[in-house]
Amino acid sequence: MATSPTRVVCFGDSITRGQVSADYVKMLRSRAEGRPFTFANVGVNGDLAYNALQRLDSVIERRPDVVTVLLGTNDANASLTEKNVRMMTRMKKLPVRPTIDWYEENLTTIVSRLTRETTASVGLLSLPVLGEELGSESVLRSARYSAVVKRIAETHGVTYLPLNERQTAHLKEGGHRPGIRFQDGRPLSARAAMQHFMLGRSFDAISRSRGLELTTDMIHQNTRGATMIAELVGDFLGIGS
């Protein structure tokens, strides 16, 4: 008798959506080829944890066997500067000022509902590095938000997938110094998107031209960064490379 495939939902923001970032969900589908898995990409560009919470019903209704959650990059980025606070509040119609406490509240609710309203195995990914300059405020901010993810995973007894730690270790081991520095607002992302969609440049070519290791624009992932996500999720699912 044929067994039903394992239904995996990848829940997140633009890094999961894979439109302006190398597509780790596509990588997972490739890794699982010939095995009984289906993957639903439930990533929405620009979402904070608050926005993702508003569409959580659509995840629960899929009756998933596994849910991976990668949220927090936009929360951390929104909190970095007043310019980012204003930009993200306007773009994503936020009801309150984005803070790390509000992020924890929303992510906690997401995990609580997933564990209570589904039978899914849940994997929480820590944030990818925000920027690539070790010791910078943006990198440190991504680590602080990742500590929140780890605490929530431990409290709720779900699996913690240490993406931030893996990416930070990669930058440290290579002695990496990025060719550009983190900027607030959206200019780096906008220029990367223009080069990719209008000029046909690959995300990896854009990344190399900027002297970056893991990202195209300090936020969205190149192939190396996305592969780290796929490896962590693949190991969680039991599908290696």
pLDDT for the residue 88: 94
pTM of the complete model beyond 0.85 = yes
pLDDT for the residue 215: 96
pLDDT for the residue 11: 98
Domain count, the chain: 1
Q: Which pLDDT tens digit goes with each residue over 139-156?
A: 999 999 999 999 999 999
Q: What angle do CA 39, 41, 45 make, to 5 degrees?
A: 165
Let me know if residue 93 belongs to a domain: yes
Rg (CA), the chain: 17
- Gap between the Cα atoms of 79 and 89, Å rounded: 10
pLDDT for the residue 2: 56
CA nearest neighbour of 74 among 15, 9, 144? 15
pLDDT for the residue 190: 87
Q: Which pLDDT tens digit goes with each residue over 148-181?
A: 999 999 999 999 999 999 999 999 998 888 888 8
Let me know if residue 86 belongs to a domain: yes
- Structure-token pair, residue 220: 């969205």
Let me know if residue 213 belongs to a domain: no
**Residue-range definition of the domain harbouring residue 28:** 6-172+223-237
Let me know if residue 1 belongs to a domain: no
Distance of CA 35 to CAs 29, 32, 231, 232, Å? 10, 5, 16, 18
Let me know if residue 33 belongs to a domain: yes
Contacts for 11 with CB less than 8 Å, ≥ 6 apart: 42, 43, 52, 59, 67, 68, 69, 70, 71, 110
Q: Which pLDDT tens digit goes with each residue over 180-204?
A: 888 887 888 889 889 999 989 999 9
pLDDT for the residue 46: 96
pLDDT for the residue 1: 47
Q: Give the H or E element holding residue 177.
A: none
Let me know if residue 200 belongs to a domain: no
CATH code: domain of residue 151: 3.40.50.1110
Let me know if residue 198 belongs to a domain: no
Let me know if residue 209 belongs to a domain: no
All residue ranges of the chain with pLDDT < 70 are: 1-2, 241
